[in-house]
Amino acid sequence: MAELLDIFRALADPTRLRVVALLREMELAIGELAIVLDQSQPRVSRHVRILAEAGIVERRREGSWVFLRIVQDGPIRTMIDQVEKWPFSAREGRVIAYDARRLAAIRNDRAAAAARYFAEHAAEWDAIRSRHVAESEVESAMLAMVAGRRLGHLLDIGTGTGRMAEIFAPTARRITALDRSPEMLRLARAKLADQPVPIDLVQGDFLALPMDDASIDSIVIHQALHFAHEPDRVIAEAARVLRGGGHLLVVDFAPHEDEELRILAAHARLGFSDAQIRGWFASAGLLLESGQTLEGGELAVKLWLGRRRSDEDQTPASEGGQTRKLAA
């Protein structure tokens, strides 16, 4: 009863109701809420603190920014989702429309910031893309490799601009898109605003994933492993959070000698062999199910699909015919 009273007290304020309505539409930073509501940040922060203490909203830090959203699980979400059915008065309708227009301006600002970032970095990205097979071919191969498998809750490690979350959204139940860079997460947030499944954008490191053991159904690491100085630890950490029978898809370059990528794009490792990935998978409790090589250009792109061992698995993949097929 006390918890329910706290919730109703927190909602018994026009500004806090506006905050809740806005956060139903998208995650927002304190500063963005202040702009939409045309109020000072300290005042908005006070309202947010009351909502957070009542368990209605939750905070997530990305660098110097703090993003807010409605609590995703439990009865709060069901309660808040009923708000849109309330018969608002004409005056209240005008306030809602005013907030909607200002929220649209926030969306436009995010999109413009993303466009500027892309324009500033287009030359270096194009230089890397020109050295390997087209991204469309890589993405098609990735979708084909996991076709027929239930992705469930998918973790995209090193999401960057959110492209992997975008292409897997139609077949996943939920996506967590993780990146160490707050700037990249802001770009991804602009890209992923209208996806058909819940997408959580989380700042974190691939060596210390902020998830519980065996809590994720599937994982993709697309063109991120080469940034790791200890890629075996990245694979082990991914395996830790993967449930039994869940899948890990790694996409990266085959071994190459393009030292310029160390300077141009901060690559710590110049590609990976089948033997390396097989060994790291095995050490992490993963069975290497399949692999594929995409040739085209100076750099070959490799795909490796692993599965977390479950009680039904009796022998490691390295003892079967699949390993011989994949041997480099």
Beta bridge partners of 119: none
Cβ-based neighbour number of residue 306 at 10 Å: 29
Phi-psi region of 120 (alpha: psi -120 to 50; beta: other; left: phi over 0): alpha
Token pair of 34, please?
Answer: 């202040």
**Given this model, what pLDDT does residue 311 score?**
58
**Given this model, what pLDDT does residue 129 score?**
65
**Given this model, what pLDDT does residue 321 score?**
39
Q: Is 13 helix (H, G, I), strand (E, B) or coil?
A: coil
**Given this model, what pLDDT does residue 241 score?**
97
* Closest CA relative to residue 42, chosen from 54, 50, 51, 30: 30
Reported pTM? 0.70
Q: State the first-to-last Cα distance of the chain, in angstroms, to the nearest integer.
A: 64
Residue spans of the chain under pLDDT 70: 1, 62-64, 83-84, 113-130, 311-328
Strands 174-179 and 153-157: parallel
